[in-house]
Amino acid sequence: MTIARHTAAMLALAALSLSGCSQDLKKGLCPSANILANTSSASFFRENMPGDPAGVLYTVQVTGVTTDCDFDKDEGTADASVVVTFRATRTPSAVGGTYSVPFYVAAVRDSSAIVSKQVYTASLSFQPGEATTTFTGGVSSYVVRFDNGKKPYDYGLLTGLQLTQAQLDFNKKMGRFAP
């Protein structure tokens, strides 16, 4: 192998190594995303049947969350995009249906202090005869501002379903999460 080819090969390997480092660095500068267990499941009821297990129209669960971000050191911000994955189930029905499900994304500092929260809506559809469907909800830009002296790893993003009090009470009654 000539010296020029050897040098070119070494430069290519170095570039690949550095690109991996820059991705790892970027991941360390983006708040991690997690699902809040207490709000990961919700039942939606037929009219005039709230809280009655026989009145459940469909149930939605948050099954995953992914995020990516752009870190701005000068501004002390991370601009995150978030994709939340859901699964909805119902008893099979000859009738299709389209519904909207509210979900939230919240920025937290030091694992507990809520810094900001926004509520969004995801749409889902059941085809006639379909008992299960998966769908996603996305947020293209969620800006997290870092307080002075705080680092990106001091922050996180939480997501879940925006539950009503009746839905929270039903989850507790059905033992879906620890109180």
Give the start-to-end residue ranges of the domains of the chain: 31-174
| pLDDT above 90 as % of the chain | 49
- Distance between CA atoms of residues 48 and 120, nearest Å: 25
The mean pLDDT of the chain is: 82
The pTM assigned to this predicted structure is 0.79
**Residue 175 CA, distance from chain mean position:** 23
Report whether 159 contacts 125 (CB < 8 A). Answer: no
Q: What is the dihedral of CA 38, 89, 106, 51, to 10 degrees?
A: -50
Position 137 confidence tier, pLDDT thresholds 50, 70, 90: very high
CA distance 116 to 142: 10
Residues 6+ apart with CB under 8 A from 9: 1
Q: Give the class (CATH, top level) of 31-174.
A: mainly beta
| pLDDT (tens digit per residue) in 43-89 | 998 888 776 778 889 999 999 999 998 988 888 899 999 999 999 99
Give the confidence band of 21 by pLDDT, cuts at 50, 70, 90: very low
pLDDT band at 17 (very low <50, low <70, confident <90, very high): very low
Least confidently predicted of 22-26, 30-34, 61-65: 22-26
**3-class DSSP assignment, residue 179:** coil
Residue 133's contacts (CB-CB under 8 Å, 6 or more residues apart) are 87, 88, 124, 125, 126, 127
pLDDT in tens, 110-123: 877 899 999 999 99
Residue 177, pLDDT score: 61
